[in-house]
């Protein structure tokens, strides 16, 4: 097994970045965060951001993928983890959707520092949907 990564936005199946970055990765399943986090659409690009403010917002739904070290490094570059205004990768706990009493799974997720997010206050989501995805604009 490689690294387990929780994706909640454009990397989910059916969204713009999935095929390019996770097309060969193994889907583990649909999961939900154990803690609440703010999931928001940030900036003019309407980029989905999971804000690193555990306990605030809602429990977020997404997918977990088993990825190798090369894919993890590629995701780090995509999420700009080395940039001061990029995301950071940290471990969070998730449980399978529909089975809240199941054992927690420790996974990586890409989160953004609260001061870097440009989103209306209290605009948190529980799931990034295709309708929201239609508003997304890739980095130019």
For the annotated catalytic residues, the residue numbers are: 79
139, two tokens: 């980095």
Placement of tokens 């990397």 in the chain: 11
Beta bridge partners of 30: 63
Placement of tokens 């990586």 in the chain: 108
End-to-end Cα distance, the chain: 34
């Amino acid at each position: 097994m490689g690294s387990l990564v929780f994706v909640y936005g454009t990397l989910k199946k059916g969204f713009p970045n999935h095929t390019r970055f996770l097309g060969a990765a193994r889907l583990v399943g649909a999961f939900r965060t154990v803690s609440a986090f703010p999931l928001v659409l940030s900036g003019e690009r309407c980029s989905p951001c999971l804000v690193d403010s555990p306990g605030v917002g809602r429990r977020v739904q997404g997918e977990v993928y088993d990825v190798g070290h090369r894919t993890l490094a590629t995701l780090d570059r995509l999420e700009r983890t080395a940039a001061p205004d990029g995301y950071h990768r940290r471990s969070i706990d998730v449980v399978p959707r529909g089975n809240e009493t199941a054992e927690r799974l420790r996974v990586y997720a890409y989160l953004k520092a609260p001061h870097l997010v440009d989103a209306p206050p209290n605009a948190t989501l529980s799931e990034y949907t295709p309708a929201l995805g239609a508003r997304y604009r890739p980095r130019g």
